[in-house]
């Protein structure tokens, strides 16, 4: 089976299988949306069928809900779950601080709500999604249909003062008609090239009238699982990463207080 997959699908499958290990009996689990998340749902379905795994899943889109039911996963709503043990989802981009761009699949609003309502968010991805600075992938912004042109203008004006490389804003289409989210909204894709300050961008966008939510996931992700085409997997945990970044260098002098002598 794996030999018949493309290199990209082998990487996604490897990441999904490793991330499935985070799901234990009795858990309430957020199930992401997109091609990589679909691999996860199928892997979990196998464990439900073959190993008797018992958990309840909260899908982040109608597409994911349909797939989860097909593979035998018990599906509940977020209101029924109350709070989640873990959410596992894909990402369009991630940086060294575990900040993400999501929403390429059009489900960013439900994805962000579900991820935020979880004790842990695990992102499954491949090496091509890692970037030094977010923004190469167009940033999705969900907007209400009413006054959408005005909202688009407000976004364009706001981008004028932001540290970005591009400022093109396009309406996402589904054939000849605007793409419609599960909540009945539309998506504007911001082609920025590079986002100098992702946190500022997220806050600014969500203050604009007509904007429902944006695809920047800041301080949400806890673990990144990176699958490779050869079946190997890298696992990065935000706790250990932050510890490494904060650890002072003592190569030159083991006594950190030497220079503090009066």
Residues forming the active site: 111
Contact 50, 42 (CB under 8 A): no
Q: Is 25 annotated as a binding residue?
A: no
Q: Is 126 annotated as a binding residue?
A: no
Round to whole Å and give the CA distance between 225 and 20: 10
Q: Is 19 annotated as a binding residue?
A: no
Q: Is 92 annotated as a binding residue?
A: yes
Please classify residue 259 by burial: count the beta carbons closer than 10 Å to its beta carbon, then call 0-12 exposed, 13-18 middle and 19+ buried: exposed
- The set of long-range contacts for 165-170, using a CB threshold of 8 Å and a minimum separation of 24, is 165/135, 165/192, 165/193, 165/194, 166/191, 166/192, 166/193, 166/194, 167/191, 167/192, 170/138
Q: Is 91 annotated as a binding residue?
A: yes
Q: Is 35 annotated as a binding residue?
A: yes
Q: Is 33 annotated as a binding residue?
A: yes
Q: Is 21 annotated as a binding residue?
A: no
Round to whole Å and give the CA distance between 99 and 83: 22
Round to whole Å and give the CA distance between 88 and 51: 20
Q: Binding site: residue ranges?
A: 33-36, 89-92, 102-105, 129
Which positions make up the binding site for substrate? Answer: 33-36, 89-92, 102-105, 129
């Amino acid at each position: 089976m794996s030999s018949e997959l493309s290199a990209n699908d082998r990487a996604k499958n490897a990441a999904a299988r490793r991330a499935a290990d985070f799901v234990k009996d009795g858990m309430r689990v957020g199930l992401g949306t997109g091609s990589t998340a679909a691999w996860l749902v199928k892997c979990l379905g196998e464990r439900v069928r073959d190993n008797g795994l018992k958990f309840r899943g909260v899908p982040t889109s109608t597409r994911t809900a349909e797939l989860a039911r097909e593979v035998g996963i018990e599906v509940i709503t977020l209101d029924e779950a109350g709070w989640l043990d873990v959410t596992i989802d894909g990402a369009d981009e991630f940086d060294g601080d575990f900040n993400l761009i999501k929403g390429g699949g059009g489900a960013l609003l439900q994805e962000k709500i579900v991820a935020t309502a979880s004790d842990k968010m695990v992102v499954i991805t491949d090496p091509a999604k890692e970037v030094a600075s977010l923004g190469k992938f167009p940033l999705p912004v969900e907007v209400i249909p009413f006054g959408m042109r005005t909202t688009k203008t407000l976004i364009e004006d706001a981008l004028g003062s932001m540290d970005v490389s591009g400022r093109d804003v396009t309406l996402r289409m589904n054939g000849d008609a605007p793409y419609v989210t599960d909540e009945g909204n539309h998506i504007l894709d911001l082609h920025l090239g590079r986002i100098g300050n992702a946190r500022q961008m997220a806050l600014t966008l969500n203050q604009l009238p007509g904007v429902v939510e944006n695809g920047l996931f800041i301080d949400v992700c806890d673990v990144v699982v990176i699958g490779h085409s050869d079946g190997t997997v890298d696992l990065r945990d935000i706790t250990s990463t932050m510890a490494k970044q904060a650890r002072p260098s003592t190569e030159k002098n083991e006594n950190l207080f030497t220079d503090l002598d009066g």
